[in-house]
């Protein structure tokens, strides 16, 4: 393997790890130690921002460069919000679970549940902000992908459909998340988009092809 190939694999590895970690969080297939789970969750945002900048570098020369730039900005904002949401979420969950485990008084436990439900809306609101910027960013980048290779066109259409549906469901069920409103959570499907993107290379080949030069 050439030095360039090794560098490409090394840069893709962190992204692959956090995408697989996210999909595992969504499906609970593998049980991980609590501290490792926390570290992986907090790594998703920073690693994803690096990945978004790599996508921009690859797609900036496509005919839809303006959409790529705007999508990049939206996705960077989204992943910063994701990190904020996860940190706030765990700052609420961990003390709550510890307090619940430390008492057997039913009245106290019921009071803590009421407090938790109110405070928990904060992280749920941040989550919706993440979904808005994330969905819009993914749609814009996916549109640009459709102007590259056949692989990019397929992945782009998939991204537009899943991110569009994710945004619609979140707006329809606000302030409750779709999963808590009895609807499907499409977040893991967008995780599949990232997984395919990483494994296939952004457009399915080393260099992105612009319109009129597709494979």
Instruction: Write the pLDDT tens digit of every residue in 32-77.
Output: 788 888 888 888 888 889 888 888 888 877 777 788 899 999 999 9
66 touches 140 (CB < 8 A): no
Please tell me the pTM assigned to this model: 0.82
Residue 177: pLDDT band (50, 70, 90) is: confident
Span 80-97, average pLDDT: 91
Q: What is the pLDDT of residues 163-176, one digit of tens each?
A: 999 999 999 988 88
Q: What is the pLDDT of residues 92-128, one digit of tens each?
A: 898 888 888 888 888 888 888 888 888 888 888 999 9
pLDDT beyond 90 at 2: no
CA distance 160 to 8: 26
Measured between its terminal Cα atoms, the distance across the chain in Å is: 24
């Amino acid at each position: 393997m050439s030095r360039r190939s090794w560098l490409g694999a090394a840069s893709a590895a962190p992204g692959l790890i956090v995408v697989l970690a996210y999909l595992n969080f969504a499906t609970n297939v593998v049980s991980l130690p609590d501290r490792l789970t926390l570290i992986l969750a907090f790594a998703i945002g920073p690693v994803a921002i690096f990945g978004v900048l790599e996508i921009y570098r690859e797609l900036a020369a496509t005919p839809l460069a303006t959409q790529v730039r705007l999508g990049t900005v939206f996705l960077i904002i989204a992943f910063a919000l994701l990190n904020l949401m996860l940190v706030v979420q765990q700052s609420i969950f961990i003390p709550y679970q510890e307090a619940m485990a430390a008492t057997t008084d039913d009245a106290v436990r019921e009071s803590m549940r009421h407090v938790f439900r109110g405070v928990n809306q904060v992280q749920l609101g941040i989550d919706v902000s993440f979904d808005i910027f994330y969905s819009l960013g993914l749609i814009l980048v996916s549109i640009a992908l459709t102007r590259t290779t056949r692989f990019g066109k397929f992945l782009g259409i998939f991204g537009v459909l899943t991110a569009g549906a994710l945004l619609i469901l979140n707006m329809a069920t606000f302030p409750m998340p779709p999963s808590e409103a009895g609807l499907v959570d499409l977040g893991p499907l967008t995780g599949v988009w990232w997984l395919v993107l990483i494994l296939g290379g952004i457009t399915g080949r080393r260099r992105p092809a612009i319109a009129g030069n597709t494979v």
